[in-house]
Structure 1
Amino acid sequence: MKLNNGFKSVFVQPLSYITLSIITTILISPSVLAVTAQNYLHSPKTSADKFTGQENFKTREQKLAQLEDSVVQERSQFIQQANALYSQGNFKGAEESLRKFLKKFPEDSFGHFQLGNVLFQQKRLDEAISSYQEALRLKPKYALAYNAIGIVYASQSRWDEAMVEYRKALEINPDYADALTNLALSLWQTNKRDEALASLTKALNIFKSQNRKEKAYQVEQILQQIKNSDNPGVS
């Protein structure tokens, strides 16, 4: 299915900016530390621990805090470096940085998600999907990863498959406005005009409530274009 000429330019821009939005969402959260901290604090006490009591517990806490600070700082440096390279358009460099990061932190779902974004920008679509799927294996309720897979499918005009992924993201987070917008664009491509309008309207209200003015404006433009179109999206 193809867009008519009057709508094509309007479609391409929103898909582009939504794709970029998933890549620039850099979260420096120390999720990788959760298991380490839990194991450390709940490990069986040694004989020495029984004699030192509270003082030894504080020592363990201090050591754990130092370990966390060190790991968080290292993780942050890797992610910031990859993000800087991506911002410069150096996708190959960003990929190398992320692969080094994942070699050290192989269980970091966010790292796999970011690698998928970088691979997508290099048009290595199958590899991008594999990275997103690995992120989902590590974090099954990763709405951003489902949305990202949908974007990859949409870039190949695989609209039905894209919609499946967007809906998975929305099952996790019904107020995920980016996924609602992407779903609407795929619905429009498959001649489901009323459903597309409903999804876009919901996305618009959420963007407004979040004070995300740029995205709200872009969704308003898409809504207006659909409403003014005599042809419901396909030729």
Structure 2
Amino acid sequence: MENTLALNNILAIIAVAVSITLLIYFAWKTLITSNLFQQGVNLYQQQDYPGAEAAFRKVIAINSTNDVVRLFLGDVLKAQDKIPEATELYQEVIKRSPKNPQGYLRLADIFMQQNQQSEAKTNLKMAQELLQKQRQPEKAQKIAKLLEQMNTKVTKNL
């Protein structure tokens, strides 16, 4: 009986120690990720795009599931005229999080800059629908106005 109680106590101590170790590890990982992310944002704002790119890539290496970081990295790549890489990242965000309107908006922006109006409109419409569903009618209305302007511009050119 005494041996069973001692064994249970040892197992409980091990479980608590493992839990505390995991908490410390994840807290450390979160702190490092947060600091790197903030560093990337600061470098981006200072227009140090290579530095921001390096910081955001480190964040993704630590936490591969963060789509916000992918969007920022895409913005940094776009600012460096690395359009194919930025496009790929935005498409990856859309694939991973199809209900995130930001990927569609950023991809539409690239398509507009490349005079690919049809692709731009498709992505703008997707973003507009998502924003409506997410109860963000003001943002959806801004996209509707942009789509209307694009259609008016096309009509004038014909």
TM-score of the superposed pair, with normalisation by structure 1: 0.53
Q: Confirm whether residue 129 of structure 1 aligns to residue 90 of structure 2.
A: no
* Cα distance in 1, alignment partners of residues 148 and 122 from structure 2: 11
After TM superposition, the structure 1 stretch with the greater mean CA deviation from structure 2, 127-136 or 99-108, is 99-108
Correspondence 1:163 to 2:135: no
- Going from structure 1 to structure 2, the CA distance change for 1:117 and 1:93 (only over 3 Å counts) comes to same
CA-to-aligned-CA distance 1:75-110 (integer Å, 9 cap, x gap): 111111111111111112211222233233333322
Contact 2:111 / 2:120 at 8 angstroms: preserved in 1? yes
With a CA cutoff of 8 Å and minimum separation of 6, indicate the structure with the bigger relative contact order.
1
TM-score (norm 2): 0.75
Query: 2:98 pairs with 140, 162, 170, which one?
Result: 140
2:65 is equivalent to residue 107 of structure 1: yes
Structure number with the higher helix fraction is: 2
Q: 1:190 aligns with which of 143, 146, 151?
A: 151
1:106 maps to a residue whose letter is S
| Residues 51, 78 of structure 1: alpha-carbon distance in 2 compared, 3 angstrom cutoff | same
Q: Relative to 1, partners in 2 of residues 1:154 and 1:69: Cα closer, same or farther, differing over 3 Å?
A: same
CA distance in 1, matches of 2:74, 2:137: 20
Number of residue equivalences? 147
Structure 2 Cα separation of the partners of residues 101 and 136 of structure 1:
19
Distance in structure 2 (CA, Å) of the matches to 1:70 and 1:147: 33
Q: Distance in 2 between matches of 1:95 and 1:139?
A: 22
Q: Unaligned 5+ residue runs, structure 2?
A: 1-6
Partner of 1:51: 8
- Deviation of 1:153 after TM superposition, in Å, equals 1.3
3-state secondary structure, aligned to 1:107:
coil
RMSD, aligned CA: 2.8
User: How many Å apart are 1:131 and its aligned residue?
Assistant: 0.8
Secondary structure, counterpart of 1:173 in structure 2: helix
Q: Deviations over 1:188-216 (max 9, x none)?
A: 12118xxxxxxxxxxxxxxxxxxxxxxxx
Conservation of the 8 A alpha-carbon contact between 2:40 and 2:55: yes
Q: Work out the CA distance in 2 between the residues paired with 1:66 and 1:90.
A: 32
- The superposition leaves residues 96-143 of structure 1 with CA deviations (integer Å, 9 ceiling, x where unpaired) of 222233233333322221111111222322221101112233333222
Measure the CA separation in 2 of the matches of 1:61 and 1:139: 31
Answer whether contact 2:128 2:144 (CA < 8 A) is retained: no
One of 17, 27, 46 as aligned partner of 1:88: 46
Q: 1:132–1:71: structure 2 CA closer, same or farther, 3 Å change rule?
A: same
Q: 1:146–1:168: 8 Å Cα contact kept in structure 2?
A: yes
CA distance in 2, matches of 1:130, 1:148: 11
